[in-house]
A and B are shown apart, each in its own frame.
Chain A
Amino acid sequence: MQQSKRHSSFPIHIAVFLAPAVLLYSLFMVIPLVNSLRLSFFEISSQNQLSFSGLQNYIKLFTDSNFAPFFWRALKNNFVFFAVHMLVQNPIGLLLAALLAAGGRIRNFFRTVLFMPTVLSVVIIGFVWQLILNPLWGVAEGMLTAVGLGEWFGPWLGKPETALVTVALISVWQFVGIPMILFYAALIGIPDELTEAAHVDGASAWDIFWRIKFPLILPTVGIVSVLTFVGNFNAFDLIYTMKGANAGPDFATDIMGTLFYRTFFGQQLQLGNPTMGATVAAMMFLIILTGVLLYMFLWARRVQTYEM
């Protein structure tokens, strides 16, 4: 009797345990997010009065000649930024993880050194790399000249053709430690029996990596990709630090984050526009949401996870 009563009563302890997280998360994340989305459906008058305007802001963002070219350029630049991370950061992260997992006495040292830039402040990274690449007194030109490549040097951060890729590579340098550590953790989780068995069967190291280890860490590949995607489409700080809110030269380094900042807060004589800023923020949210949903439904459900 007593037993069944206990079962039917509301599991109050669950609510108690969830409450702190739910409350704080709602207060600091959910409510501001919803409020920001709401703001994107309003217009602000010169007397600071808000009035509902439906989808006007979105139509403006996609079609108005003052916003649309900026939006599409920022989106394109953001995809380039993401592509550089996917093609450079994650493969290098995987390579470093594979080297670390192969053992060696000084791997702890390298693990720490390679991860270190990740914990440094973006402002320091931006400042140091600007000094290194400075065409007047940077060390980059001297170092390239020392190995006979001095002619390759250029003011990369100042040229529209190279600025975005340069900034993206600096970001890669900073964050390569994260995919490295995630891949490393996955790789050392693979039991030795599997590789030993493959070895006995006559598989080469190359085969062992690509046919045994890589399929086993595929879930991690997915996680790293989606983390890169989310991080890149939220990126702002490095470009703001190095190129300012105008994301020069000629908006070559303008990504969604800097576009949002300029629109929302204004810049020099340009006044901030909170409702259009919220619209840009809503688009960033939608893009990231789409990316994460694609990952969840197209990748995470299909990829084979093995119990090890």
Chain B
Amino acid sequence: MRKLFTLISLLVGLSLVLSACGGGPAATQAPAEKVTITIESWRNDDLAIWTDKIIPAFEAKYPNIHVVFAPTAPAEYNGVLNTKLEGGTAGDLITCRPFDASLKLFQGGYLASLNDLSGMENFGDVAKSAWITDDGADAFCVPMASVIHGFFYNKDTFDKYGLKEPATREEFFALLQALKDNGETPLVMGTSDQWEAATMGFQNIGPNYWGGEDGRLALIKGTGKYTDEAYIKTWQDLAAWQPFLPEGFEAVKYPDAQSLFTLGKGAIYPTGSWEIGLFEKDAAFSLGIFPPYTENAGDTCYISDHTDIAIGMNAKSAHAAEAKTFLSWVASEDFAKLYANALPGFFPLSNAAVTLDDPIANEFLGWRQTCKSTIRDSYQILSRGEPNLENELWRVSAAVINGSLTPEQAGKEIQDGLDKWYKP
């Protein structure tokens, strides 16, 4: 009953506020009105950068537009955003997840088509591929950034034992063993949140086994299967990582692992370029990175250079003109420079040549020259059905590391799930 009273008093309060707003039309129609537009995003880690660097730069150029960056926790973003869009309370600008999640929003009429947006000509087809209809007719988000997977390591620890960056699988495991023999925690990762096992494990080292884009497209065409040797080998590697993970890794969560590494209590951290900002801020030792190891010395190397983030416009936005102004600015070279340097580790997708100040970010970017780029194999088309491939990859990859599934069982479960609905 008390809940009800609270609810009633809230409603009464709300209606008072609303009627107060309605009662003063003169106030809302003041001259030189400043329009506020809101950005929905899952990047709550970037809140300070948006509010202190990016938005002031935009507002300096367009003083009549006020931009609010309103992020949600990453794991809740999709659910919260869908609910807000359905209820008509979402912000004017929507940060776009790659591929189907955003495509569905576009098809549902929630995202506006951006074909005629000035600035879209600055992006190549690969950059736009994650935010375009299957027939390529409509682009609906302005590509912002990609992330590159790899391994971070603690240079001080490596120097202490005279260890060097591994290039091959053999060198990698020899390195882990050497670190373990010296009493260090060689590899920092937990399986409690599950996604690290798939994203930072499976999708990180896998492209070198399945040959990057070739393997990924073969899955879509149906000529490749998750039961193939390449995938089994990837999971076998993950299973072999287990003895080198921190104690109790089954209950170690993502922030725990980040803290463990930045506190200097672990040597190698499999992850992606998005950690640069946090690690450079928190780590008191010198950081190094190395790309995913190849099976044999001299093999072509592949990196997961994943188109990860874009921004689109709420089709029902009340301030469509201002939102488009912002999107055109996002597509400009100014933004690419500002964003790439404010957020080292998020690499711009526009054709503009951008130089980065951050040495580690530059090193990541350099891999684009030495290795071939691919994206995560579960993102395009293959996660459209039930059971959801991405969720399944999280589950089985974590289970393989925990030892509750064998690599062969994992491959079979994933392929069986895919076969249920996917007909190439």
Contact = CB atoms under 8 A, between A and B. Distances in A.
A271 B247 contact: no
Contacts of B248: 134-136, 154-155, 158
A236 interface: no
Q: Is the interface of B mostly helix, strand, loop or mixed?
A: helix
B390 A268 contact: yes
A136 B252 contact: yes
* A: contact size bracket: 35 or more
A249 B82 contact: no
Given A135-B252, A249-B194, A48 B108 contact: yes
Interface string B156-173: 000000000000000000
Interface residues of B, number: 48
Nearest to A28: B7
29 contacts: A28-B4, A46-B104, A48-B108, A66-B420, A134-B256, A135-B246, A135-B249, A136-B247, A136-B248, A155-B252, A157-B192, A157-B251, A158-B251, A244-B75, A245-B75, A248-B192, A248-B398, A249-B191, A249-B192, A249-B250, A251-B395, A265-B82, A266-B79, A267-B391, A268-B78, A269-B97, A269-B383, A269-B388, A271-B78
B193 A130 contact: no
B252 A267 contact: no
A265 B79 contact: yes
Contact of B246 (A46, A136, A244, A246): A136
Given A66-B420, A269-B383, A269-B390, A133 B251 contact: yes
A71 B398 CA distance: 22
A66 B386 contact: yes
B251 A134 contact: yes
B408 interface: no
Contact of B391 (A48, A67, A246): A246
Contacts of B200: none
Interface string B182-205: 000000001111110000000000
B250 A155 contact: yes
A119 interface: no
A266 B78 contact: yes
B247 A267 contact: no
Interface string A61-104: 00001110000000000000000000000000000000000000
Contact of A269 (B8, B100, B108, B193): B100
Contacts of B108: 47-48
Interface string B237-249: 0000000001111
A155 to B, nearest CB: 3
Contacts, number: 132
**B246, B251, B386 — which one has the most chain A CB atoms within 10 A of its CB?**
B251
B420 A65 contact: yes
B420 A271 contact: no
A66 B256 CA distance: 33
A107 interface: no
Interface in A145-164: 154-160
A98 B179 CA distance: 56
A160 B404 CA distance: 9
Nearest to B82: A272
Nearest to B199: A268
Interface in A12-68: 24, 28, 46-48, 65-67
A250 interface: yes
B8 A249 contact: no
A270 interface: yes
A270 to B, nearest CB: 4
Contact of A271 (B104, B192, B387): B104
Contacts of B122: none
A173 to B, nearest CB: 18
A222 to B, nearest CB: 22
Contacts of B107: 46-47
A223 B391 CA distance: 40
Contacts of A130: 253
Given A46-B107, A155-B248, A269-B101, A24 B387 contact: no
Interface string B368-380: 0000000000110
A202 to B, nearest CB: 47
Interface of A: 24, 28, 46-48, 65-67, 130, 133-137, 154-160, 243-246, 248-251, 261, 265-272
Pick the 7 closest A-B CB pairs, nearest first.
A135-B248, A158-B250, A158-B251, A265-B79, A155-B251, A155-B248, A270-B388
Contacts of B54: none
A133 B79 CA distance: 29
A158 B104 CA distance: 34
A130 B256 CA distance: 11
Contact of B395 (A67, A133, A137, A248): A248
Interface string B92-123: 00000101110010011100000000000000
Interface in B350-406: 378-379, 383, 386-391, 394-395, 398-399, 402, 404
Given A46-B107, A268-B78, A269-B100, A246 B250 contact: no
Contacts of A248: 191-194, 395, 398
Given A249-B191, A250-B399, A266-B78, 10 more contacts: A48-B109, A136-B252, A136-B260, A158-B249, A245-B75, A248-B191, A266-B79, A267-B78, A267-B79, A272-B78
Contact of A24 (B4, B379, B420): B4
B251 A135 contact: yes
Contacts of A250: 395, 398-399, 402, 404
**A130, A137, A160, A267 — which one has the most chain B CB atoms within 10 A of its CB?**
A267
A249 B402 contact: yes
A270 B383 contact: yes
B79 A272 contact: yes
A46 B404 CA distance: 37
B325 interface: no
A136 B245 CA distance: 12
B95 to A, nearest CB: 15
